[in-house]
Structure 1
Amino acid sequence: MHKSLVIFYGLILYALAELIWWGVLLVKVQPERKAMIMGEGAVFLILFFTGAYFLQKTLKRERKLHEQQKNFLLSVTHELKSPLASIKLYLQTILKRDLDKSQTRTFLNNSLKDIERLDDLVENMLIATRIENHSYSFPKEKFNFSELVEKVAGRLQIHSCSTQIIKTNVDRDIYITGDKFALTLVVSNLIENAVKYSPPCEEISAGLYQKEGEILFTVADKGIGIRDEEKLRIFEKFYRVGSEDTRKTKGTGLGLYIVKQVLDKHQAQIRVKNNRPTGSIFEVSFSTYGN
């Protein structure tokens, strides 16, 4: 891509030099038409530079997309290797050591959580592709949203910490009509995103309640927070907070993109607020009409 830009700028300079040269020659041959030649040359230059500007924007956008896709592939590789390595370690420990029943059960449960994490990653990639290709129909049904939130929050507890890191405040028996599979991804992506951007074993708050004709689902963290200028872009595909060169937080850049696409299909709104003194709050609101 860098080579393409060099060639592009070289062609622009060459075309500009040729235009000036031919303009000078025409003025020498027909000095009485100098004003007309300069006027036509000015119009051509305006059109030329306008086209060059938009072409440059296209090339830069393509280069940025290429970089994002490359980082996405690297991130996916890391996201796959981490739980696989964890599962391998647990199983090797079970096979090599004489563990009691309680320890074996704990290791198997932790392995199952890592497998579910891998399943989430695969489902994210599949649904993102289907949404982009307009091949996902979002089948809807009425289900217990409270149970879904509690189940996802329990599954995403970080088993390497001894303390509870996901605190839930969920009103019981809140039902919603929607795509249960897609909304499960919304809940898991928002909670997992909060976990990723928070300090180790820091408390994450997930809440669900009804208020004034709305069903509100909130996820609050005490992480690095999101700058105001980035809040408008975090739902773009492959976009991730921070610099690609200095970022240390894992992720694919698909989670919040999927969240926004799914919520749009459910006529739901999502807002990003600052958590005080640090962190972010994601607030999702569903209308109770029709639920």
Structure 2
Amino acid sequence: MKKSLLIFYFLLLYALLEMFWWGTVVIQLQPQRMAMVMGEGSVFLFLLCIGAYFIHASIKKEDKLHEQQQNFLLSVTHELKSPLAAIKLSLQTIVKRDLDKQLQTSLLNNSLKDIERLDDLVENMLLATKIESRTYSFPKEEFDFSELVTKITDRLQVHSCGNQQLINTKIDNNIKVVGDKFALSSVVTNLVENAVKYSGPCAEIAVSLCQNDGKPFLTVSDKGPGIPDGEKMLIFDKFYRVGDENVRKSKGTGLGLFIVKEVLQNHDADISVKDNTPQGAIFEVTFN
């Protein structure tokens, strides 16, 4: 991409030099045409600068997209390898060692969680592809949104700090939604997984679902590093991730919040991001 920019700048410089040279030659041969040359030259220079600006912006945008796609491939590779390695290790342990039933069950349960994580990753990539290509139809039906949110938070519950439940839920019963159950489950999963991912070890996450003016209102709060004001809208762009890619420690593909935005737009729902106190972020989803 740097080579393309160098070629572009060279051609731009060449065009400018040619314009000034021909203008000088014409004025020397026909001094009476100086006003015409200056006028036409100014228009040409203006149009050249406008074109150069847009071409430069397009090249930089393409460069950034290429970098994001490379980071995405690296992230996907890491996201796939981690659970696969864990599943392989668990199964090898069961096969090679004479374990009691309780330990076998524990290893198998851990493997099932890793398989669910892989399934979520694959579903995210497939859904993002279908949404972007406009081939996904969003089939809608009425279903119990409270039951869906409860099921997802129970599955994603973290028990790494003893018996403490890290995802605290406050979910009102029998909240109905007319929408695509599969796509909305991806919305809830991505929001909760992001909260878990960016929060520190043993940090509490809050998930709330209630009726606000007769409309379903979902909030997911974390105690992570938070999101700078300048990036609160950018986080919903495809492949975009907060912070410097070279020093980032958190995993992810940059597809989750892109899917969240697209799905909610197709359900006439709004999402907003606020700062949590004393630190972290709050995602609020309002159905209209």
Amino acid at match of 1:27: I
How much does 1:285 deviate?
Answer: 1.1
Does the 8 Å CA contact 2:159/2:166 hold for their aligned counterparts?
Answer: no
Amino acid at match of 2:136: Y
- Report what 1:264 is aligned to: 265
How much does 1:245 deviate?
Answer: 2.2
For the residue of structure 2 that corresponds to 1:271, the secondary structure is strand
Deviation string, structure 1 residues 126-160 (Cα, Å, up to 9, x no partner): 11111111111111122121121111112112354
Q: List gaps (5 residues or longer) in structure 2.
A: none
Deviation string, structure 1 residues 40-74 (Cα, Å, up to 9, x no partner): 11111001111011111111111111111111111
- Report what 1:57 is aligned to: 57
C-alpha distance 108-159 of structure 1, shift in aligned 2 (>3 A): farther
How much does 1:186 deviate?
Answer: 0.3
Q: What is the RMSD computed on CA atoms of the aligned residues?
A: 1.2
Report matched runs for 1:211-250 at 5 Å: 211-250=212-251
1:90 partnered with 2:122: no
Does the 8 Å CA contact 1:169/1:207 hold for their aligned counterparts?
Answer: yes
- After TM superposition, the score normalised by the length of structure 1 is 0.95
Deviation string, structure 1 residues 233-260 (Cα, Å, up to 9, x no partner): 1111111111222222111110000001
Does the 8 Å CA contact 2:221/2:280 hold for their aligned counterparts?
Answer: yes
- The total of aligned residue pairs comes to 287
Does the 8 Å CA contact 1:110/1:159 hold for their aligned counterparts?
Answer: no
- Report what 1:4 is aligned to: 4
- Report what 1:108 is aligned to: 108
Bigger shift: residues 183-192 or 13-22: 13-22
- Report what 2:182 is aligned to: 181
C-alpha distance 74-159 of structure 1, shift in aligned 2 (>3 A): farther
How much does 1:103 deviate?
Answer: 1.7
How much does 1:32 deviate?
Answer: 1.6
- Report what 1:126 is aligned to: 126
- Report what 1:206 is aligned to: 207
Identical counterparts, % of pairs: 65
Q: List gaps (5 residues or longer) in structure 1.
A: none
For the residue of structure 2 that corresponds to 1:259, the secondary structure is helix
Amino acid at match of 1:26: V
- Report what 2:68 is aligned to: 68
- Report what 1:40 is aligned to: 40
- After TM superposition, the score normalised by the length of structure 2 is 0.96
Deviation string, structure 1 residues 46-105 (Cα, Å, up to 9, x no partner): 011110111111111111111111111111111101111111122122223322222211
For the residue of structure 2 that corresponds to 1:234, the secondary structure is helix
